[in-house]
A = this chain, B = another copy of it.
Amino acid sequence: MGASYRQFCPVAKAMELLDERWTLLLVRELVTGSQRFNDLRRGLPRMSPSLLSKRLHQLVAAGIVDKQVEGNDVRYVLTPAGAELRQVVESVGTWGVRWIGTLGDEDLDPKLLMWDMHRNVDLSAVDDPPEVVHFVFDDVRGRSRRWWIVIEPDETDVCDIDPERPVSVTVTSGLRDLTRVWRGDTTWERAVRSGALRIEGPTTLRRAVPAWFPPTGLASVVRPA
């Protein structure tokens, strides 16, 4: 646990927990719905497993997370106290999206982007699954250049190796461009229009893609003029 501020103020008491590195991002993952250790890791790829383990213990000790073990199955679930941290995550995210527009190159991560997009696919918007969306980042070299998001009727997977299934649509762009679309800094439409992003495939499907990856909560936050 972080050092005490020695203040009775509720903000101080809360921050003793929340100002530790990674803690609120872990809560964000839990709020998003991840419950398993390795799913949490995927959302926090730069966090070491030992630190993740430590933070989970701290959150359990603080009454924010409940560790539910059933045989081999381990799940970390937010308690009522933890669930209310959603308001904190949202207010922080809203502020961040409004006032920190600039992303450094080191903030861009294809794997993380694909992981986040795939878990937010709107299955109800996909008329005729399965669909396979192939992403190509034309400014990335190596294994992270090409990705496939496979949308089944009731689940979605992401692959970094060719699943060898018929591709419905191919999306080609710079990594930063798709990231900005996903964050809501711009729209699919504007990105396509400007040439930053290309969608290839049958017209109906091309038009449907944006609906499969709908703006998440923070993406629709109004930006300052």
Contacts and interface: CB of A to CB of B under 8 A. Distances in A.
A113 B6 CA distance: 12
Interface in A1-32: 2-15, 17-25, 28
A42 interface: no
Chain A, interface size category, equals 35 or more
A81 B17 CA distance: 25
Majority secondary structure of chain A interface residues (helix, strand, loop or mixed):
helix
Q: Which 9 A-B pairs have the closest CB atoms?
A: A14-B96, A10-B96, A10-B97, A91-B91, A81-B99, A11-B93, A13-B100, A87-B91, A10-B93
Contacts of A80: 224
Contacts of A15: 24-25, 92, 96
A90 B108 CA distance: 31
B14 A92 contact: yes
A14 B95 CA distance: 7
Nearest to A179: B8
Nearest to A15: B24
A63 to B, nearest CB: 7
B107 A183 contact: no
A218 B9 CA distance: 9
A21 B20 CA distance: 8
A5 B43 CA distance: 12
A8 B15 CA distance: 23
A165 interface: no
A84 to B, nearest CB: 6
